[in-house]
Chains A and B, each alone.
Chain A
């Protein structure tokens, strides 16, 4: 497929975000010059995000928070973060902006970087490509050029390895969002496919020397992990992901049906218009031949009201979400295949 070539570019970043140097080289699959080529996170931020989700966000609720840091050349350094309270029903008069201002003012007193550089969100099985996320990230990126959204997947992390990804909107998508025009023509003009909506930025984790000392200290004192989740052969989460995927595909097919109906209606309408015009012309010719004044020109657009084209943004989002699910599934199956072969080797050795 033609579009897969660009797709593999972005897939390469998500599956090979190893060292910073390699990441810088491959950057993002073919999406021009972005302000941020790498995200550097402090260990502290990772721990805080994990803790926030663990304590406050069980179930399908998403937890969110703000990232603080600074921008150094083409690198975005995230040095601290603070959580956002969840939207509770009984707290309608809670002022988010005020909370944020107070928090940042207070943090400034203790010399914590108070520059807002992005936000983080937890996700349920990888379903984060929603309209809400798009809008938020757009407003962030509009105000602050280099902002990113960090997506933390707690379920995948519990399976054995930290799953933290940083996303930005591609410049093309930013353009389209600015226009706020999501009709098919505008999107075609912008040449946006679902693979070009978000770009993933490689992440590295950096710690200061003193934190390294702390880590050594902890390693001496804390017990060794007794659970090695990563090597477990269970694939219970696969079922859930597949189910979510099926739901999305259903939505997608509905969307396609809607689009098809629209296309069919428009083409039918075109035909009708054409016929009407022809009839008109014929009548006019007849009238002319009879010497009567021609009929007035009527506004065709009033007679045949054009159909409203369905918004394409939703289907783009759904396609993007399906893509993410598929990526996750493939990663998971790759790992499990590896584990199965290891188990086979173990058995062969035994028998």
Chain B
């Protein structure tokens, strides 16, 4: 059973300092990032939603010392090209869809709000599962890091510890990549991405724009691909991925409730009780119906052009109300109401019984 414990006051673990010059990626992940996206098709590999390719292209840097070991497998690219490409190692066999749960985004925003003084952004690890067509990110935690003009220090020890702790609760979650708040991908992102490629094959990078540039909080995901001329130093480009939002049913209900704080003046809402909830749900349906009605009237008066698919939906909608013979419906309704009333009566009876029992015992 959970027992309360007072947290001890121990000094934090020292972050692993890594100045930009001395990065030393193990050779194993390097081939992983090299194989199928061979240099020639890299520009063509950028998928259709190229709206965010501008920051991606702008972020392609050649952190030269960091990439020297990557040039070693460059001669190995010739044989890699000749292979017809088995399934990509790592999470992207070609689907290139990232499915996010809302809890991740809330977590990221919360850790951004709690960042240290002077830190411009926060980073953290993404956890989740991989399946054939997509990657589902279900959990995350933030990792302390220090960033300045010329160096980046990420506390990987901390990240490993947290991952171990999280694994105890959900053993199915793997490290999928990392996130950062902020608008752009910076040079330091490349380095951090490299750290993470040691932990996970082909990690994803997620950016959440908490500085609200363009008046929106844009959420984007990237994966890194190599680019450049074969035989020379390779650069890294972040190619964007499609982001979809995945919800469990209960999550959707939770998000709907939390969303209501947007409308209240001091951002506070209470939980509603039985009939209020029914009222709320019917109000929502009423809104939806009035939108549909408006559309129908618009079509009838000629203002809006009719769309056959919508018409078909409307037809099936109207036909969904079952046509029942009134007497049958009366009987059904009455028997249902009687059932419910009986159950209510029984519940009340039980409650009074136990109250009586309490009284008698205490005599």
Q: How far is the CB of B186 from chain A (nearest CB, A)?
A: 21
Contact with A along B133-159 (1 / 0, CB 8 A): 000001101111000000000010010
Instruction: Give Cα A48–Cα B269 distance, bound, in whole angstroms.
Output: 18
Q: Tell me the smallest distance from the CB of A23 to a CB of chain B, in Å.
A: 7
Let me know if A194 and B326 touch, CB within 8 A: no
**At the interface, is chain A mostly helix, strand, loop or mixed?**
helix
**A56-B170 contact given A15-B274, A106-B161, CB 8 Å threshold:** yes
Interface string of B250-280 (1 = CB under 8 A from A): 1111111111011000011111111111101
- Verify if B12 is at the interface (C-beta below 8 Å from A): yes
User: Are A108 and B7 closer than 8 Å at their CB atoms?
Assistant: yes
Residues of B within 8 A of A336 (CB): 336, 340
Whether A222 contacts B7 by the Cβ 8 Å rule is no
In the complex, which residues of chain B have a beta carbon less than 8 angstroms from the beta carbon of A84? 2, 169
Binding-face segment, A132-140, A273-281, A292-300: A132-140
Contact of B12 among A109, A193, A242, A319 (CB under 8 A): A109
Q: Cβ of B105 and Cβ of A214 under 8 Å apart?
A: yes
CB contacts (< 8 Å) of A54 on chain B: these are: 248, 250-251
Give chain B residues whose Cβ lies under 8 Å from the Cβ of A132: 1
| B165 within 8 A of partner (CB) | yes
Beta-carbon contact of B245 and A218 below 8 Å: yes
Question: CA separation between A40 and B333, bound complex, in Å?
Answer: 41
Candidates B142, B162, B253, B347; contact of A160 at CB < 8 Å? B253
Contact (Cβ within 8 A) B268 A204:
yes
Q: Check B261–A43 contact: CB distance below 8 A.
A: yes
Residues of B near any A CB (own CB < 8 A): 1-5, 7-8, 10, 12, 101-103, 105-107, 109-116, 122, 138-139, 141-144, 155, 158, 161-162, 165, 168-170, 210, 212, 216-217, 219, 245, 247-259, 261-262, 267-278, 280-282, 284-285, 321, 323-324, 326, 329, 333, 336-337, 339-341, 343-344, 347-348, 350-352, 354-359, 361-362
Query: Is A72 in contact with chain B by the CB < 8 A criterion?
Result: no
Whether A51 contacts B138 in the complex (CB less than 8 A), given A3-B359, A222-B245, comes out as yes
Q: What residues of B have a CB within 8 angstroms of the CB of A312 in the complex?
A: 361
Q: Is the Cβ of A210 less than 8 Å from the Cβ of B269?
A: no
Q: In the bound complex, how far is the Cα of B344 from the Cα of A325, in angstroms?
A: 11
Q: Does A307 contact B (CB under 8 A)?
A: no
State whether A111 and B114 are in contact (beta carbons under 8 Å apart), knowing that A17-B271, A103-B165 are contacts in the complex: yes
8 contacting pairs across A/B (C-beta < 8 A): A50-B248, A79-B110, A83-B169, A104-B5, A109-B155, A214-B105, A252-B354, A333-B340
Given contacts A194-B354, A206-B267, A343-B333, contact A15 B273 (CB under 8 A): yes
What CA separation (Å) do A158 and B249 show in the bound complex? Answer: 7
**Complex: how many Å from CA A108 to CA B111?**
12
* Cα–Cα, bound, A204→B356 (Å): 35
Q: A44-B110, A326-B348, A350-B323 are in contact. Are A50 and B254 (CB under 8 A)?
A: yes
Report whether A344 and B249 are in contact in the complex, using a CB–CB cutoff of 8 Å: no
Secondary structure of the B contact surface, majority rule: helix
Q: How far is the CA of A4 from the CA of B273 in the complex (A)?
A: 21
Chain A residue at minimal CB-CB distance from B349: A326
| In-complex Cβ contact of A326 among B254, B270, B350 (8 A) | B350
Assuming the contacts A110-B114, A111-B116, asked whether A85 and B169 have C-beta atoms less than 8 A apart, the reply is yes
Report yes or no: A100 in contact with B5, Cβ–Cβ below 8 A.
Answer: yes
A144 at the interface (CB under 8 A from B): yes
Which residues, 53 to 71 on A, are CB-close (under 8 Å) to B? 53-56, 64-66
Give the complex CA separation of A338 and B355 in angstroms.
Answer: 28
- Write out, one digit per residue, whether chain A residues 314-351 have a CB within 8 A of any chain B CB (1) or not (0): 01000100110110011111111111101110110011
- CB nearest to A230 among chain B residues: B281
Contact partners of A256 in chain B: CB under 8 A: 357
Which one of A91-99, A172-180, A282-290 is at the interface? A91-99
| CA of A54 to CA of B8, assembled, Å | 32
**Shortest beta-carbon contacts, A-B, top 6:** A43-B258, A47-B103, A326-B347, A111-B114, A230-B281, A161-B277
A7: chain B residues at CB < 8 Å are: 351, 355
Chain B hits for A305, CB < 8 A: none
Whole-angstrom CA separation of A44 from B113 in the bound complex: 13
B262 A161 Cβ-Cβ under 8 A? no
Tell me which residues across on chain B come within 8 A of A231, comparing CB atoms: 278, 281-282, 285
Chain A's closest residue to B272 (CB) is A18
Given that A47-B255, A329-B344 are contacting pairs, would A99 and B138 also be in contact in the complex, using a CB cutoff of 8 Å? Answer: no
A210 touches B112 (CB 8 A): yes
Decide: A212 near B268, CB < 8 A? Known: A50-B251, A109-B12, A161-B253: no
Given contacts A96-B2, A215-B258, contact A319 B357 (CB under 8 A): yes
